[in-house]
A and B are shown apart, each in its own frame.
Chain A
Amino acid sequence: GAVVSQHPSRVICKSGTSVKIECRSLDFQATTMFWYRQFPKKSLMLMATSNEGSKATYEQGVEKDKFLINHASLTLSTLTVTSAHPEDSSFYICSAQTALDGKLFFGSGTQLSVL
């Protein structure tokens, strides 16, 4: 199957710093990439949808100035958590939808811990 690489897998940072998470589709072009948060034993919560070359569409309640998304190419999207606070601690996951057949594949996730 298609591979989506997400990096880093784990990050610990101090409150007030910014953290960037990368999501790459390694062997396919992705028309759309999605970013999610997931809390323990809960389902995925969609944060935003991004299309290459255009502004991301954020879900209601998600602060776009807090969670900056850049989708510079058909294979790369980044999520930057700005001025992170402890309440931002979570498991963040990206997914990419193939341009070929619309299938959705996920990255391995990033566990963010803000001290």
Chain B
Amino acid sequence: GESVGLHLPTLSVQEGDNSIINCAYSNSASDYFIWYKQESGKGPQFIIDIRSNMDKRQGQRVTVLLNKTVKHLSLQIAATQPGDSAVYFCAELRNTGNQFYFGTGTSLTVIP
């Protein structure tokens, strides 16, 4: 079946390094993507979004890249900090409706 999945379930990085979290999707009808950060015991927090008419979008310390050819989405976090430790997951909205589909998530651990 179709799914939104992440390549790596866990990721550890040194404080100050850049982090890259990947997400693969399989439905070419998806046209809107969002990255969320979820800390333990809390609801997901909106980080950044991107629509299918773009291939890159930047926020504060974060960049999302979209490669529609290979159906791949990535979240780059610059100068990773201990406060960035959390589970990150992507969500895709398929243009056939208002339904969001979520990936399993990648647990990011920042090593001081």
**Which residues of A does B touch, CB under 8 Å?**
1, 4, 6, 31-32, 34, 41-44, 46, 49, 91, 93, 95, 97, 102-109, 111
Chain A residues with CB below 8 A from B107, complex form: 41
Residue of B nearest to A97 (CB): B98
Chain B facing A: main interface SS: strand
B36 to A106, Cβ gap below 8 A?
yes
Of the candidates A41, A43, A104, A109, the one whose C-beta lies within 8 Å of that of B34 is: A104
Q: Nearest Cβ distance between residue A56 and chain B, in whole angstroms?
A: 14
Chain A facing B: main interface SS: strand
Q: Mark B85-112, 1 if CB is under 8 A from A, else 0.
A: 0000101010000111011110100000
B44 to A93, Cβ gap below 8 A?
yes
Chain B residues with CB below 8 A from A6, complex form: 43
Of the candidates B42, B46, B104, B105, the one whose C-beta lies within 8 Å of that of A108 is: B42
B46 to A103, Cβ gap below 8 A?
yes
Q: Give 21 CB contacts A-B under 8 Å.
A: A4-B43, A6-B43, A31-B98, A32-B98, A34-B100, A43-B105, A49-B98, A91-B41, A93-B43, A93-B44, A103-B46, A104-B34, A104-B46, A105-B46, A106-B36, A106-B43, A106-B44, A106-B45, A107-B43, A108-B43, A109-B43
A44 to B41, Cβ gap below 8 A?
no
Given known A-B contacts A43-B104, A93-B44, A102 and B32 have beta carbons under 8 A apart: yes
